[in-house]
Structure 1
């Protein structure tokens, strides 16, 4: 049973939830049908398709009145001139926030191999936004050494305004990571990255791809593991949320909300968010 304090934290996190969507066919319509304008919508970048689909969907969502946040993948930006074009395009759409990541490309297409280099270039070229998100990794990233991710978090703090954590299924790992970030003196707000309700097989495939293999193994090995987190029809993040809220609700840790990886299961995600919010409010 989650405590009253934990339920208040859950309600606060869900009120400030962010949805991550993939720029595939039908994504725009799904957002329009299910998601209110109070929800911030971030749009991923694909190594196979480049930045254009990301920017196009973000532009369309912005025209509909959403706070759209395009992901700018450093390894998809060719050079400074290309960066200027991307930034001007984003600004022209009235978008005031971007999320800067290294990207999943094994090799960069241009001169930027990581997000820090791109952030530095944005700063040097006078490209500022109201908010700039950076990624955090509670577990290993498939393309970046652990020591590099830890140092990179410190180096990027001067350019970013908040952190979004990569998916992790182990509450203990997430809590340790948040506290470790704070001990290192990184004070940026942290949005916890949670997977949405989705098909279990799909979730595990994505998990292996984005570098949460230890979590995937945790699910299958730890005292019932995956079975305890799965409901008929797929994965449900509620239990993970309930474990995190009592441990990370302290305002001093500055965890203002959650970032939900929807895998474009947008209608199901919003239905889940509303249900859990109602339950948290009804229990006081």
Structure 2
């Protein structure tokens, strides 16, 4: 979906008068088991009536979820009214292999790809080595997709705290600019908790002439310890004030949910008040926190339509 299309949030209307609602999108990961698949589809059914601009499905380290990602995307296309975006990485695959994946998506009706360099098969934080016959950078991948399929929209990643493997912020912004120059029309950020980090990052990229939407990636904290471990591997900082809010709640999941919803809603509402009109939620395949935060933003489920 283009940004112009995204300006109209058709079925999500609230009690906010004439104020235009922001655009929202959701990220899911492909399920590994039947139980996880049931959880995912219950989540999709719960969130679909909010009519997000798109929903993305991740691609595991080293392409480990290729077929499961494809199957999830195809099912979304067939069984829902949602617009799916397929994640795709350069890791451990030749250009021919990746081109085949893109062709399969295009044939299935996918018109949005989130193009990433990706994490190595050893996992996030491991050393990255490009495949000798593969795309050497995500910018190369973006350029190839746009050359072969001009009708596919391409989103890319962005890092308010710098990619952990970038030499410095200037090099990191140069990488983003190369991806945009190659044809990317949106950048979705790594999650962050300090809005000042995002605001400073946007100032940096705008100063370099990058004018595509920089969509903040929002992570409601389902599990503080797990989130902290992920943050340490991907270079995202965890403020001390956030740790204090979850202190002593290891065995109190209900209170953790309340705190998590309050924190994420506060972050999103502050960004929205400062003009940010596009948010991407890392759902972790759970609907409750994301639905609550969307409700606080003014979204109301379109009850007149089936969810899926």
Q: What TM-score range do you get, normalising by the shorter chain?
A: 0.7 to 0.9
Q: Which moved more, 1:225-234 or 1:104-113?
A: 225-234
Q: Which moved more, 1:164-173 or 1:141-150?
A: 141-150
Q: Which moved more, 1:91-100 or 1:234-243?
A: 234-243
Q: Which moved more, 1:178-187 or 1:235-244?
A: 235-244
Q: Deviations over 1:79-132 (max 9, x none)?
A: 2321221111111221111110111113344522321121233345x2333421
Distance 1:72 1:278 in 2: 30
Equivalent of 2:21 in 1, 12, 34: 12
Q: Deviations over 1:183-230 (max 9, x none)?
A: 211111121111125222222222223321xx22xx12xxx3433588
Distance 1:122 1:276 in 2: 34
Matched, 1:227 2:240: no
Matched, 1:86 2:96: no
Shift >4 Å, 4+ stretches = 7-11, 228-231
Matched, 1:240 2:252: no
Q: Deviations over 1:131-163 (max 9, x none)?
A: 210111101223333343211111111210111
Q: Which moved more, 1:202-211 or 1:269-278?
A: 269-278
Contact conserved, 1:171 with 1:240, CA < 8 A, in 2? Answer: yes
Equivalent of 2:197 in 166, 169, 173: 173
Q: How do 1:70-219 residues align onto structure 2 when only pairs under 5 Å count?
A: 70-76=86-92, 78-105=93-120, 106-109=128-131, 111-124=134-147, 126-146=148-168, 147-158=170-181, 159-212=183-236, 215-216=237-238, 219=239
Q: 1:8: Cα distance to partner?
A: 8.9
Distance 1:273 1:10 in 2: 15
Q: Number of residue pairs matched?
A: 256
Matched, 1:43 2:41: no
Q: Structure 2 unaligned runs (5+)?
A: 1-15, 121-127, 248-253, 301-308
TM-score by length of 2: 0.74
Contact conserved, 1:22 with 1:263, CA < 8 A, in 2? Answer: yes
Q: Which residue of 2 aligns with 1:282?
A: none
Matched, 1:263 2:284: yes
Residues 43 and 10 (structure 1 numbering): CA distance in 2 closer, same or farther, change over 3 Å? farther
Distance 1:148 1:157 in 2: 14
Distance 1:104 1:84 in 2: 19
Contact conserved, 2:95 with 2:135, CA < 8 A, in 1? Answer: no
Q: Deviations over 1:42-76 (max 9, x none)?
A: 01111152422222211111112321111111224
